[in-house]
């Protein structure tokens, strides 16, 4: 990881995405972007075609670098790459692709094929100016799946068509959603009173619209307010070019980076540090997906680590998503008490008092117990010190309490009894068999 940003040189400044960077002649580094999610639903989706029309088509966000340019002359459906492309299968924004076509005196086109003189391995997904509808399939418990409908497509992958079964949870604002009468007899609503289309195999297929609005019009009052109301992350503002953020305010532990002096808009970034010492960066924005024709059905736009395109990034993004899930579990409010109880039961007593559990949980969260610990969340030195040094762990008075102490596990109780009774195995029976122990222990 570089300690500081490097200024771009020549063609580097025109690249929307990077794969490999030549730091000095002959020395190359692979660029691995930081963990980043994208919204599952987005406005103004464009169709992208994989290599040729009779291969698969899909939807892509024109504001993200997901495909290469495809430029046609007027009246032709054979497309060409720009001679100024930077590397094979380079991915650019739709606006960049459009500008490259204009520079060739051509237009972005809904093509049939790409220049036949261009090697097959140099072709990938290419932008088309055609539109692409992003619909939502809602099952009987309110989970949703993406359904893409590109204009005039030849083939669509099953994981994006109406039979898509990759459902995921969303949070409906009113706890109500379109329901197919056949899925929940007596509890359906005719797929939102006819707004959505019922699917024979189950669920409702609905058109969607996306809305984005700012959350804070002024400086938030606390860190907790930022953490509770903002959900969309942002890149580190200090990584951008000088002048991108013109004002920086710091009030009540909240730092605001503003693109317009004195104005809290959707591009404002808030930076806060939570009680566990983690730094969070949030965009001052919220996005909602609404069922067209039924504004009462809406849910917060869902984030996604995994892209439906560009499969070479799947392993990287799967790792990022796994790490994010593990971090979520690690910092969950119930994690510290859960670990505290288990450690206490293993080391000292099977029935600890709440105050004992609280002390160990706090040591885990703060990373400190007396002179022990580094002050970092999850510090095991501090946690184990609290387990062993808390008064309840060392009190001679409490040892006389019949409810204090370690209780053997059921199987250990049985084996202890066998040993104390000098159990002898029957002749020809080298193994002691235990039957129906679930009811006997």
> How many Å apart are CA 147 and CA 133, to the nearest integer?
8
* pLDDT higher than 70, residue 1: no
Q: What digits encode the pLDDT tens for the residues 56-76?
A: 899 999 999 999 999 999 999
pLDDT in the model for residue 262: 87
pLDDT in the model for residue 241: 82
* Radius of gyration of the chain from its Cα atoms, rounded to whole angstroms: 30
Q: What digits encode the pLDDT tens for the residues 148-188?
A: 999 999 998 888 999 999 999 999 998 899 999 999 998 99
Q: How confident is the model at residue 312 (pLDDT cuts 50, 70, 90)?
A: low
Q: How confident is the model at residue 108 (pLDDT cuts 50, 70, 90)?
A: very high
Sign of the dihedral defined by the CA atoms of residues 222, 223, 227, 233, in that order: positive
Q: How confident is the model at residue 386 (pLDDT cuts 50, 70, 90)?
A: very high
pLDDT in the model for residue 414: 85
> How many Å apart are CA 67 and CA 49, to the nearest integer?
9
**For residues 351-372, average pLDDT:** 95
Question: Measured in whole angstroms, how far is the alpha carbon of residue 429 from the centre of its chain?
Answer: 56
**For residues 417-429, average pLDDT:** 83
Q: What digits encode the pLDDT tens for the residues 124-145?
A: 899 999 999 999 999 999 999 9
> How many Å apart are CA 390 and CA 356, to the nearest integer?
7
**For residues 113-133, average pLDDT:** 92
DSSP 183: T
pLDDT in the model for residue 174: 87
pLDDT in the model for residue 89: 82
The contacts of residue 4 (CB under 8 Å, 6+ apart) are none
The answer to whether 93 touches 65, Cβ cutoff 8 Å, is yes
**For residues 404-424, average pLDDT:** 82
**For residues 82-100, average pLDDT:** 92
DSSP 415: H
The answer to whether 132 touches 94, Cβ cutoff 8 Å, is no
Token code pair at residue 402: 């019949």
Cα–Cα nearest to 280, from 218, 338, 350, 328: 328
What's the mean per-residue pLDDT of the chain?
90
Q: How confident is the model at residue 409 (pLDDT cuts 50, 70, 90)?
A: confident
* pLDDT higher than 90, residue 239: no
């Amino acid at each position: 990881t570089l300690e500081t940003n490097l200024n771009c040189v020549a063609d580097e400044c025109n690249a929307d995405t990077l794969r490999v960077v030549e730091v000095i002649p002959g020395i190359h580094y692979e660029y691995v972007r930081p963990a980043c999610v994208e919204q599952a639903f987005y406005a103004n989706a464009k169709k992208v075609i994989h290599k040729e029309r009779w291969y698969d088509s899909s939807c892509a966000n024109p504001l993200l670098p997901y495909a290469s340019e495809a430029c046609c002359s007027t009246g032709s459906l054979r497309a060409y790459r720009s001679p100024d492309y930077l590397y094979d299968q380079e991915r650019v924004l739709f606006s960049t692709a459009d500008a490259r076509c204009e520079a060739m005196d051509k237009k972005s086109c809904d093509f049939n094929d790409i220049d036949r003189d261009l090697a097959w391995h140099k072709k990938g997904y290419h932008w088309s100016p055609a539109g692409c509808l992003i619909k939502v399939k809602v099952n009987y418990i309110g989970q949703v799946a993406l359904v893409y409908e590109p204009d005039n497509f030849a083939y669509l992958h099953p994981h994006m068509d109406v039979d898509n079964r990759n459902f995921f949870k969303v949070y409906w604002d009113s706890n109500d959603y379109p329901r197919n009468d056949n899925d929940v007899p007596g509890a359906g609503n005719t797929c939102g009173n006819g707004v959505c289309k019922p699917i024979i195999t189950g669920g409702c297929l609905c058109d969607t619209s996306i809305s984005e609005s700012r959350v804070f019009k002024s400086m938030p009052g606390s860190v907790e307010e930022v953490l509770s109301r903002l959900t969309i992350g942002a890149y580190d503002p200090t990584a951008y070019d000088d002048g991108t953020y013109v004002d920086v305010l710091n009030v009540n532990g909240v730092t605001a980076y503003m693109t317009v002096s004195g104005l809290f808009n959707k591009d404002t970034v808030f930076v806060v540090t939570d009680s566990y010492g983690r730094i969070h960066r949030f965009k001052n924005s919220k996005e909602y997906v609404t069922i067209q024709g039924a504004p009462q059905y809406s849910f917060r736009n869902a984030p996604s680590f995994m892209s439906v395109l560009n499969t070479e990034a799947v392993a990287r993004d799967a790792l990022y998503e796994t790490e994010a899930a593990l971090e979520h579990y690690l910092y969950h409010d119930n994690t510290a008490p859960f670990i505290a109880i288990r450690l206490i039961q293993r080391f000292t007593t099977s029935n600890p008092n709440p105050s004992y559990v609280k002390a160990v949980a706090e040591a885990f969260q703060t990373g400190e117990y007396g002179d022990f610990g580094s002050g970092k969340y999850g510090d095991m030195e501090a946690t184990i010190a609290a387990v062993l040094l808390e008064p309840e762990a060392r009190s001679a008075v409490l040892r006389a309490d019949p409810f204090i102490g370690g209780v053997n596990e059921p199987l250990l109780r049985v084996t202890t009894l066998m040993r104390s009774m000098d159990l002898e195995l029957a002749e020809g029976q080298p193994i002691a068999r235990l039957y129906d122990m679930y009811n006997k222990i």
